[in-house]
Amino acid sequence: MAEKEESRSVIASRVQSPSSINTYRQCPRKYYYNYIAGLPTKKSIALIKGSIIHEVLEDFFDINPAHLGDDCKDYLRKEIMRLFMAKWKQSQGDIDSICTPDKAVHASDCMLMLSNWTEWFLKRIDAKVRTGKTAADAFRQLTPVREQEYISPEDSVRGFIDAIEEEDGRIRLIDYKTSSRDEITEEYLLQLSIYALLYRVRHGKLPDVVGLHFLRHGEKEIEATESMVEYARREIHGVHKKTLTTDKKDYVKKIGPLCKWSSGQCDFYDTCVKD
């Protein structure tokens, strides 16, 4: 027994992320393949679309507000589509490598999500303009801090927050989602709780709100609370404890609907069935 224990390679600490923690909860063996064995994950059209949309929403706010007059709406609508087209073109090699026959359908789907977001954003510009602000000032005020990396060394966890907004002294942390349903699932709740923890560690206070912007549906937000931080800590440290070993046998397979479904399969399915 002692020999067996010694033969296990143990690692001191691993920096987790919302994604790694949720992967462990979904299936420990999947965590092993991804984060310990380092097996490559597969490209998918959903991942490429998500990445392009996140980049567009990040770069959109690099627009120079000085260019925005009272008739800025059409300019902003055109600008976001121009950004999308440029990024879609840049990703053409990756998209072609997946050989998706319905590329045009996927491009339209992305444009629809970005158009939804733009109309939502323009309403916020309008609301500010109605209070007497110029469109340029409204744009400046609504520009979030984007793709900010947060780390908590004491919890050994990190995350990238898509958008941090401050309006009238209220702080909102937002993550963009391209999912088909606008449900704050357990997985998403944990992600938001980790963001609340990360924000609190860096700034010494909680954000007011954490939320998800479902690009097909709209926003859902919840008040950030200390109990979310406690929940995040419990989950993070629980996963740390269970991932000290690099012995595959310690990472059990959790066989379920996420192994294989009608239109796809787990990235490690082929390896897993042979193991």
- The pair of three-digit structure tokens given for residue 49, joined into one six-digit string: 């679309």
Q: Is 24 in the site for ligand SF4 (CB under 6 A)?
A: no
Render the burial of 115-127: b for 16+ CB within 10 Å, e for the rest: ebbbeebbeebee
Contact with ligand SF4 (CB under 6 A) among 36, 142, 244, 258: 258
Q: Is 29 in the site for ligand SF4 (CB under 6 A)?
A: yes
Q: Is 54 in the site for ligand SF4 (CB under 6 A)?
A: no
CA–CA separation, 48 and 236 (whole Å): 28
Q: Is 30 in the site for ligand SF4 (CB under 6 A)?
A: yes
Contact with ligand SF4 (CB under 6 A) among 82, 101, 253, 262: 253
Of 39, 147, 46, give the one whose Cα is nearest residue 102: 46
Question: Is the CB of residue 150 less than 8 Å from the CB of residue 199?
Answer: yes
Amino acid occupying residue 14: R
Amino acid occupying residue 208: D
Of 216, 214, 211, give the one whose Cα is nearest residue 177: 214
Scanning 22-30, 91-99, 146-154, 239-247 for contacts with ligand SF4 by CB under 6 A, the matching segment is 22-30
Considering the complex, what minimum distance in angstroms separates the CB of residue 11 from ligand SF4?
A: 20
Nearer to ligand SF4, 108 or 271 (CB): 271
Amino acid occupying residue 90: Q
Q: Is 269 in the site for ligand SF4 (CB under 6 A)?
A: yes
CA–CA separation, 70 and 124 (whole Å): 14
Bridge partners (DSSP) of residue 173 are: 164, 210
Nearer to ligand SF4, 20 or 118 (CB): 20
Q: Is 37 in the site for ligand SF4 (CB under 6 A)?
A: no
Q: Is 177 in the site for ligand SF4 (CB under 6 A)?
A: no
Scanning 24-32, 54-62, 112-120, 225-233 for contacts with ligand SF4 by CB under 6 A, the matching segment is 24-32
